[in-house]
Amino acid sequence: MREYTFARCLFCTTGKEEFVARGIEESGHGRALFPQRMKKFRKGQSWEERLTALLPGYVFVYSDEELVRFAGFPSAQHIIRVLKYGNGGDALVGRDREFADWLWRLEGRVGVMRALQEGDRVEIIDGVFKQLRGRITRMDRRRKTVRVELDTQGAIRHIWLSYEIVDRVDAERLPVAGDEGARGLEA
């Protein structure tokens, strides 16, 4: 896939992510995708996997344009705002850009994630999240998903993941992630 100079994150009307992404591409403002994850659903006596929004309401835009005004095309009405940093910049940097680049390489489709669990503390061991640690704040055993509050100050602070518990770890083996000085995007 082609590489782009800038990556941005748009906050949109939930449920209109695909419509917004398609409109951005048709308008020529760059390539857009909305992250999707594979989610397990119970159907009768068996489980089936289906793609659902990973981050409902968010669309990532990749372009070579330094300044972009997302207006003038039909789906633009569903863009609530472009996420910006405290300094006013809207191009993703640091961990946020790493996350956007990871999504780009996967074409926006994330498979089932695996996590290690010790009480409420978990370490993500798959994909871009394997560098992150967090705390499970909710579990849905029926749907086999967990809500993980991440130990990060980036744009993504919590996320729902499909899970497979693979091993228990000792608490002293889980380093506590401190504030790495990253400033998160402001919605």
Q: What are the pLDDT digits (tens) for 73-124?
A: 888 999 999 999 989 899 999 989 988 998 898 899 887 666 545 445 666 6
Tell the burial category of 172 from Cβ atoms under 10 Å away from its Cβ (0-12, 13-18, 19+): exposed
Report the C-alpha gap between 63 and 41 in whole angstroms: 35
Give the closest residue to 26 by CA, choosing from 74, 59, 68, 64.
74
Choice among 5-9, 132-136, 171-175 with the minimum mean pLDDT:
171-175
Contact 40, 64 (CB under 8 A): no
Task: For the full predicted model, state whether its pTM sits above 0.85.
Answer: no
Length of the chain, in residues? 187
Q: Which residue has the tokens 């693979």?
A: 166
Q: What is the pLDDT of residue 129?
A: 67
Mean pLDDT highest for which of 43-57, 152-166, 170-184? Answer: 43-57
Report the C-alpha gap between 104 and 109 in whole angstroms: 9
E strand or H helix at 103 = helix 94-105
Q: How confident is the model at residue 39 (pLDDT cuts 50, 70, 90)?
A: confident
Contact 152, 181 (CB under 8 A): no
Which comes out higher in pLDDT, residue 184 or 50?
50
Residues 126-172 have pLDDT tens digits of 666 666 777 777 777 777 777 777 777 776 777 777 665 433 334 44
- How far is CA 75 from its chain centroid? 21
Report the 10 Å Cβ neighbour count for 90.
Answer: 18
3-state secondary structure 31-72: EEECCEEEEEEEECCEEEEEEEECCCCEEEEEECCCCCCCCC
Q: What is the pLDDT of residue 50?
A: 84
